[in-house]
Amino acid sequence: MRAKRKILVTGKEQGFTLLELLVALTIMALLTGTVVVTLSSQDRALDAAMNRTLGLLKSCRNNAIVSGHKYAVSFKNERSVLFLATSPGWESEKVFKQPSGLGYRFSQRFKQLSENSPEIECSPDGLNTPFALVLTMQKQSRCISSAGNGVFGVDAAC
């Protein structure tokens, strides 16, 4: 035979009160809102850096076409540099500081001419070095690429 269980009724039921549930939901909503705001501000910072980099590349191309001289761009250590070709080498024309935490890397198919040369050259005929540049910031990335025809493409997901 089975033993019967006795249930004690104390007059107070177990569970959460409405006030406890509301406090827990409020805390979860605040934490979710904080995460969303943080992620969207990182997206905005990366998009702004991508737009500045794209503007620098277009400036390289336009300066080369207008001046009739080669220009180039280099990306190193959270800064980008626009160069003008001179007879012995490259002369730094303008240095752009990028936001901290921004990283640049080129895809594997990209081959730099030499370690001391800029990565991307723009010629007076409007053409440029083919490249695929990945910008990274806090585990997010954006890509800018060109087949060398002077047209720059943007891809949000690399």
Per the prediction, the chain carries an average pLDDT of: 79
The CA distance from 1 to 6, in Å, is: 16
The amino acid present at 126, given as its one-letter code, is G
Note the pLDDT tens digit of each residue in 67-89: 999 988 888 766 788 888 876 77
Confidence of residue 127 (pLDDT cuts 50, 70, 90): very high
Domain ranges of the chain: 19-155
Architecture per CATH, domain 19-155, reads as: 3-Layer(bab) Sandwich (3.55)
**Joined tokens for residue 122:** 């723009």
**Joined tokens for residue 87:** 């007879």
Residue scoring higher pLDDT (119 or 114):
119
pLDDT(124) > 90: yes
Measured CA angle at 34 (ends 137, 143), to 5 deg: 20
pLDDT at 126: 92
pLDDT at 137: 84
Half-sphere exposure of 5 toward its Cβ, with a 13 Å CA cutoff? Answer: 3
Highest mean pLDDT: which range of 29-43, 94-108, 111-125: 94-108
Q: How many beta carbons lie within 10 A of that of residue 62, not counting itself? A: 14
pLDDT at 84: 82
pLDDT at 112: 53
Mean pLDDT value across residues 52-61? 90
pLDDT(106) > 70: yes
Q: Among 94, 51, 105, 54, which Cα is nearest to 71's?
A: 94
pLDDT at 141: 87
Q: What is the pTM of this model?
A: 0.69
Q: What is the largest CA-CA distance in the chain?
A: 104
